[in-house]
Amino acid sequence: MTWRLGMAVVEEGGKHESKRLNLSLVTRRRVLRIVTHLSSGTVNFLNATQAFTEGLAYVQDNGIVIMKGDNSTTLSENVNRNSVRISSNKQYNTGLFILDINQAPWGCGVWPAFWTTGEIDILEGVHDNQHNQVTWHTGPNCSLTPQADFSGTIVQSNGVNNTNCDGNANSNAGCGITEWSRASYGPFFDQQGGGVFAMKWDENGIAVWSFYRAAIPQDIQAGVPNPSNWGIPVAALEPGGCDPISNFINHSIIFDITFCGDWAGNSYATSGCPGTCSQQLMEPSNFDNASWSINTLKVFRKQLITGQITSGASFAHLNIGQHNELRDIHKRIFQTLSSALANTCSPATGSAKLARRGVTLTAPLYNAHPSLPSVNEEWSGRIKPSIDGDHWNTRLLSVDSALLAISSEGIAESGPATSTFAIVVTGGGVQARLNPSSAIGSR
């Protein structure tokens, strides 16, 4: 799938407002809004006018966005400290969210989060902890899959992995995964120049990655993110344990900085921080590091390509528009294409023959190939179909920019013949050609 930039919440300058909107537009309610909903923390979330006036939210000349907790006011004990909570006006149902920051808030009694309502905590921690915690808070019928492929550690309760994400089942603790890297939160994260947090949310699940500054993938830096290049995520919620579509609906993006409260307050006694949380809150210099420094927050959406497959005895044509729309064709096109071709087979004849048939295709694409295919560039591959009952089935086994290998499960005892096919990129679309001299399959 190609991830196309849908909105850049934070981007330097206002010269390209139709595509990239500066956080300073918050004053015009175009992209973000500052909200004043109180949490359980010892905090006052200021409104937009107050936050800008008191210097708790502003954009530097270089385009970096600063949001911070008050670090200039001395308070009496048990008095709330001023801070900011900011939310997107736009709501999301899936997407690729990439946050580039120089600093995330930390310090004794500090509880910051970058999250989406519904709820997915992408970046969250307390005090001067060294490890970010990714957490999902949901309703019933949603749980982590311990066998899923991620590098973090599932948060435990009483020595047992807490895989139940239902907030009603565990005092809203949700299901959390702690990152292994001690540079994913706190002073070490800031000292090495910050980094990038990315969340991919689609029908295949929800996954989170983090990269310190020196390890940010080149595709992210170039603005063409390709999650398939990023390795194992630090945290993942798989669709087998939790439907990522029905359980997460109309999410807003939120940044906040809370003080004390349910997590930072309740864990304060064992944090190694001095005194009590309410005492810590009195001295403003204790919150010099309670600040977000944000370079960009970009939200990408899947690019859908819709076309029509028509097939004949030895030829199938996939027309998906102009050549400049064909960038980085992902394996899903070929999965759908091969399935459409396989479904036209007639095993009753003893050999697979393509019938005339039209199949509508809607295929999401990732950046699976390094560059735009050239006109008349050809990818070669092979189809190895099998018979399952009265149907021919094929399944994509592997893909790279040079070879598309399509294999199948449950191959017939006699073994079907192997056919070749070619994918040809032309100025008017993509063509899939079956080698007319090869049988598609036989019993």
List residues with catalytic annotation: 119, 124
DSSP, res 168: G
DSSP, res 327: S
* Euclidean distance between CA atoms 402 and 301, whole angstroms: 27
Q: Name residue 183's beta-bridge partners.
A: none
H/E stretch holding 116: strand 110-116
CB atoms within 10 A of CB 438: 15
Judging by DSSP bridges, how do beta strands 120-124 and 133-136 pair with one another?
A: antiparallel
* Euclidean distance between CA atoms 416 and 222, whole angstroms: 44
Q: How far separated are the first and last CA of the chain, in Å rounded? A: 36
* Euclidean distance between CA atoms 288 and 295, whole angstroms: 19
Phi, psi of 134 (to 5 degrees): -95, 130
- What is the phi-psi region of residue 231: left when phi exceeds 0, alpha when psi lies from -120 to 50, beta otherwise? left
At 365, which amino acid appears?
Answer: L
Judging by DSSP bridges, how do beta strands 304-311 and 357-364 pair with one another?
A: antiparallel
3-state secondary structure of 200: strand
CB atoms within 10 A of CB 113: 23
